[in-house]
C-alpha cells in the first residue's frame, strides 16, 4: 500500500503526546529545583499540547486497531494493554490540566501533592504505552537472524522449491488482504510491521507460516498481528507458500 496509511499516521503522531508529557515533568522539576516560574509556564503549555495531540493520536489508534482486528472477535492482549494505558494517560493528562487551570497553576499543599502524583502517573502510563507500542511494531520476529545468502544456483535445505503457481496466487492474496498496510516487501508497503522481504530466510516452512497466519500468538506471544483464521485452507496454503518463498 503506497501513500496514506492510518497505522503509519498513528505511528508518526503518537510520538508527540509522549514527548510533550515527558517534557512537562522535566520542566516541572526544573521549575521546582531552580525556582524558575517561567519554566512552570512552559510546562503548562506543553501539557496543553499533550492533551490536544492525544486526541488525534488516540482516534487514529482506534482506527488502526479496527483496520487490523476489525474482523477478529478479540485483539491480542498486548494491543489491548497498549490502548488501555494510552487512554489512562490521556485522561490523567486532562485531569492534571484542569487542576492546574482551576488553581491558576499556583496549587499548594495537598492540591500540589495531588498534581504531582497525577503527573507521575501520567508520565509512567504514557511511557509504558509507548513501550508496548514499540514492542508490537518491533517485537515480531524483528530479531530473527537472517542467514547469509547462498552462492548463486546453490540448492540448500533452507531453499526449497515452491510451486510458482502457489507463489503467484499467494502474492495476490497478500494484496487482497491488504497485508502491505503493515508490512513492506522490497520497499513497497508500510513499516508498522516487520519487513517481509526475506521472510523465507527466517521461516521457509509452509506449515509454520500457516500456523502463524491462523494464530500469530502461537508462534510469537507478543505478536499484535490479527489472526487470518477466516481464510480458506487454499488461501492459507497460497499465502504461506508466498511468505516462505521470499528471499
Which class does domain 164-245 fall in? mainly alpha
What count of Cα atoms within 13 Å lies in the side-chain half-sphere of residue 22?
Answer: 10
The reported pLDDT for the residue numbered 36 is 94
The reported pLDDT for the residue numbered 239 is 94
Paired residues of 99 in beta bridges: none
The reported pLDDT for the residue numbered 98 is 98
How open is the CA angle 86-141-171, to the nearest 5 degrees? Answer: 105
Helices marked H in 70-176: 77-102, 109-138, 164-176
CB 8 within 8 A of CB 191: yes
The reported pLDDT for the residue numbered 188 is 87
Angstrom CA distances, 88 to 40, 65, 126, 242, stand at 24, 17, 8, 41
Angstrom CA distances, 144 to 134, 182, 195, 199, stand at 16, 18, 11, 10
DSSP string, 176-193: HTTGGGT-EETTEE-SSS
Q: In the chain, where are the structural domains located?
A: 6-138, 164-245
Per-residue pLDDT of the chain (247 residues; tens, 9 = 90+): 345 678 878 988 999 999 999 999 999 999 999 999 999 999 999 999 999 999 999 999 999 888 777 766 667 888 899 999 999 999 999 999 999 999 999 999 999 999 999 999 999 999 999 999 888 777 644 444 444 444 444 434 444 678 999 999 999 999 998 898 888 898 888 887 888 988 988 888 999 999 999 998 888 887 888 888 889 999 999 999 999 999 8
The reported pLDDT for the residue numbered 147 is 47
Other beta carbons within 10 Å of 167 = 16
Other beta carbons within 10 Å of 240 = 26
User: Which grid cell sits at 30?
Assistant: 526544573
Please, which residues have CB within 8 angstroms of residue 110's CB and are 6 or more apart in sequence? Answer: none
User: Which grid cell sits at 1?
Assistant: 500500500
Paired residues of 188 in beta bridges: 185
DSSP state of 74: S
User: What CA–CA distance (Å, rounded) separates 93 from 21?
Assistant: 8
The reported pLDDT for the residue numbered 152 is 42
Amino acid at each position: 500500500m503506497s501513500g496514506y496509511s492510518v497505522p503509519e499516521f498513528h505511528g508518526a503522531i503518537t510520538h508527540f503526546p509522549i514527548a510533550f508529557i515527558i517534557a512537562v515533568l522535566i520542566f516541572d522539576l526544573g521549575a521546582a529545583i531552580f525556582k524558575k516560574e517561567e519554566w512552570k509556564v512552559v510546562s503548562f503549555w506543553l501539557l496543553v499540547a499533550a492533551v490536544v495531540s492525544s486526541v488525534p493520536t488516540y482516534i487514529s489508534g482506534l482506527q488502526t486497531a479496527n483496520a487490523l482486528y476489525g474482523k477478529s472477535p478479540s485483539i491480542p492482549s498486548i494491543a489491548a494493554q497498549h490502548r488501555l494505558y494510552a487512554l489512562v494517560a490521556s485522561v490523567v493528562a486532562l485531569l492534571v490540566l484542569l487542576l492546574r487551570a482551576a488553581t491558576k497553576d499556583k496549587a499548594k499543599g495537598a492540591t500540589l501533592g495531588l498534581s504531582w502524583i497525577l503527573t507521575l502517573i501520567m508520565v509512567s502510563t504514557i511511557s509504558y504505552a509507548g513501550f508496548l507500542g514499540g514492542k508490537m511494531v518491533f517485537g515480531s520476529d524483528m530479531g530473527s537472524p537472517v542467514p547469509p545468502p547462498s552462492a548463486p544456483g546453490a540448492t540448500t535445505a533452507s531453499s526449497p522449491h515452491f510451486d510458482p503457481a502457489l507463489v503467484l496466487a499467494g502474492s495476490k492474496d497478500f494484496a487482497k488482504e491488504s497485508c502491505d498496510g503493515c508490512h513492506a516487501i522490497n520497499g513497497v508497503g508500510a513499516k508498522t510491521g516487520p519487513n517481509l522481504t526475506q521472510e523465507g530466510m527466517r521461516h521457509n516452512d509452509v506449515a509454520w507460516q500457516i500456523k502463524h497466519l491462523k494464530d500469530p500468538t502461537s508462534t510469537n506471544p507478543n505478536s499484535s498481528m490479527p489472526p487470518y483464521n477466516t481464510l480458506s485452507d487454499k488461501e492459507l496454503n497460497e499465502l504461506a507458500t508466498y511468505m516462505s518463498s521470499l528471499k
